[in-house]
Every structure is written in structure tokens, then in C-alpha cells.
Amino acid sequence: MRIGCPTEIKAQEFRVGITPNAAREAVSHGHEVLIQSGAGLGAGFPDEDYADAGASIVATADEIFERAEMVVKVKEPQAAERAMLREGQLLFTYLHLAPDPAQTDDLLKSGATCIAYETVTDARGGLPLLAPMSEVAGRLAPQMGAWTLQKANGGRGVLMGGIPGVTPASVVVIGGGVVGTHAARIAAGMGADVTVLDKSLPRLRQLDELFSRDMNTRYASGGNIAEAVAEADMVIGAVLIPGAAAPKLVTRDMLSTMKPGAVLVDVAIDQGGCFETSKATTHQDPIFEVDGILHYCVANMPGAVARSSTIGLGNATMPFMLALADKGWKQACRDDAHLAQGLNVHAGQITNAPVAEALGRDHVALDTVLA
């Protein structure tokens, strides 16, 4: 198979979809790999690294999309990229379609087959291609929130760990999954007073056993969320419903109960955000204010640490990429029901039920597509 990897064009996105190691593996499997010149520079991988791995360097994204049978990316294709997709082509990347009807319409019109990293599952019910970036985003969230809390940035001017005689910042994490766990761990490590809210009592018990000395846990009822948010210096939204739009757990009315200059960090912004007042921002212009509350809603947070993120993502995606190339997408999905869950769009139809439900669209069953 001819596999192509273009340079990411989303604002301030420095990651790359294929690492030199992944390129070398694909070539060793007998595949041809095309890398757009400069695609890896933001992650510290020059063209020479790819050439040494056996990949071919091409000048433009146009050539990648024209020649490749499978296009491997990081972020959802932008409008210019979607216009280059063609019928029968395979796209393997993050999509996050639930809050993005415009992208969905373009992918449907293209006739391409689109497999989304974020809905591929594993035998334990996890999301193996989302997990590494969730780990990165979770660890970054308190760091970015602490920066936003600084007075020069409009925040309350509260130090995360406090000092002797001065209380630390109060950090509330909504969601105890991968993002929430890593966010809570880092916030606690910075010395903050951390509370994690989740609706799963078994998960809260796990977190209590792991971190009982470092953080508090509360059940995520509406009343408990409202009370915790009102007391917080920083709230980290870390809620995920696979494939679906994130629920709005912090309403605009709740902002009036918060401390002026408090910070909301919405890690769920790729799925529409879990704060009612959230809107996607960029690394270049990351924060905005609503009713005196600062919002940090960068949609590609892991792009800030592009090398670490690229390597982590590449480790996770490589086996699936190779399966798709070795077998073709249909046979690979037949052989691996977890990979098949990643199929979101095929030949003008939505194939993922939660995505279709979030968008209010019809979908075709996976079994029908794979028959």
C-alpha cells in the first residue's frame, strides 16, 4: 500500500502522523511511504530521518493526497485537506466528528473511508489511540491552568502549591478517567488541594486507593459539581463519552458563583467541551474571559509538546496502521472488532452510532459495511 503523511496545517499543530520508526516498519512490510517535506520538523524529525528509514520525501500535500491510498495524520482534516480526499481513499487520524457537522458533511461527500483514532477500542473497554494524548493533555492541564492563574494573564494570582502560612490553590477535576487521573496527579504534585469528581463509585474507590493522601474524591452529582466549582481556583474538565459530544457540566449561571479570576481548563473541547461557555482556542491565543472567569480551551493541547506527543501517538497507532496496510481496511476491521469501532465514515455514510446520534444523522451498521 502507498501510505502518505502530510504536514499538519491546523494552527499551532506541530505533531506529525508518522514517525521515522513507523515509516521504517511500514517499508519493512513492503509498503511505500510518502512524507511531505518538513512534516516532521515540528516534532524534531528532519526529512533525512525519514529518507534513512526508506520513505520518499515529496514537496506538497497535493501530491500526498493525490498518490496515497492511505493518508495518516494527527488532527482532523482541515477544509483544504478535505477537498483533496477522494472516493476509496483511506483516512486514518483523529476526527472528533460529534461537534463538527461541517467536517462530517465534507467527509461524507468525499466518498473516503475514515477511521478515527478516538473511537478505536480495546478488550478492556479502553481507547488505546486516545489514551496517550489523553495522558499528555491531562498532565499539561494543571501546568497550563497554573500559567493562566497568574495575575499577569488575568487570573487570581494564586500559587498552586502555596507557601508556609498561605493555602494552596483549590483544583477541581471533573472526570476520573485517563485525563482526569493524570491531571489530578500533576496538580497534587504541584502542591494543590485537589478534588476529583466522577459518577463511577468503583473508579472513585480506585483513585482513593491510589492517591488517598494526595487528593479528595466526590460523587459527580449536579449539586456536588456546583459546590466544588464555586470553591475552586481552577476547574479541569476531563469528561469523555466515546464518539459523542461532551455533556455541559458547568453552566454559564455557575460562573457567577465562582471566584473572580478563577480558571476553567476544558480538555474535552475536541468533543465540544464540557463547560457551556467553552469555545475552541489555539496555542497562539489560548485564553478568553467570560463573566470574570478565564477559559483555557486549546483544542490540540498535546501539540505544545510535539515531540513527546508524536512519539507516544506513533507507538500506539503503528500496529493499527500496519494492519490496515497489510490487509486492507475491510479485512483488518473484520479481523479486529476493536479497530472496526474506529470506522466513522465509509462511502458517504456514517458508520458509528454515537457519532450519528450526536449529529442527529442516520447511520449504517458496521456489520452491513463489513459484510
Task: Indicate which residue of 100, 266, 270, 336 is catalytic.
Answer: 270
Per the annotation, the verdict on 96 as an active-site residue is yes
Q: Is 71 helix (H, G, I), strand (E, B) or coil?
A: strand
C-alpha cell at 80: 483544504
Per the annotation, the verdict on 346 as an active-site residue is no
Cα–Cα distance, 109 to 339 (Å, whole number): 23
Instruction: Enumerate residues 6+ apart whose C-beta is below 8 A from 65.
Output: 4, 6, 71, 81, 84, 85, 86, 89
Angular region, 191: left φ>0, alpha ψ -120 to 50, beta rest = left
| 264 annotated binding-site participant | no
| 1 annotated binding-site participant | no
C-alpha cell at 362: 442516520
Q: Which of 45, 64, 79 is nearest to 5 (CA)?
A: 64
Contact 115, 343 (CB under 8 A): yes
Q: How far is CA 152 from CA 146, 147, 231, 232, 287, in A?
A: 12, 9, 22, 19, 12
Q: How far is CA 302 from CA 102, 131, 162, 261, 305, in A?
A: 24, 12, 27, 25, 6
| 345 annotated binding-site participant | no
| Residue 49 CB-density burial (10 A; 0-12 exposed, 13-18 middle, 19+ buried) | middle
| 270 annotated binding-site participant | yes
| 344 annotated binding-site participant | no
| 82 annotated binding-site participant | no
| 299 annotated binding-site participant | yes
Residue 166 is classified by DSSP as B
Task: Indicate which residue of 96, 338, 346, 363 is catalytic.
Answer: 96
Cα–Cα distance, 134 to 368 (Å, whole number): 32
Contact 31, 59 (CB under 8 A): no
| 300 annotated binding-site participant | yes
The whole-angstrom distance between residue 117's C-alpha and the CA centroid of its chain comes to 9
| 239 annotated binding-site participant | yes
C-alpha cell at 186: 500533576
Residue 305 is classified by DSSP as G
Query: Catalytic site residues?
Result: 96, 270
Annotated binding site for substrate: 15, 75
Q: Cite the annotated binding site by residue number.
A: 15, 75, 134, 198, 203, 239-240, 267-270, 298-301
Residue set of the binding site for NAD(+) = 134, 198, 203, 239-240, 267-270, 298-301
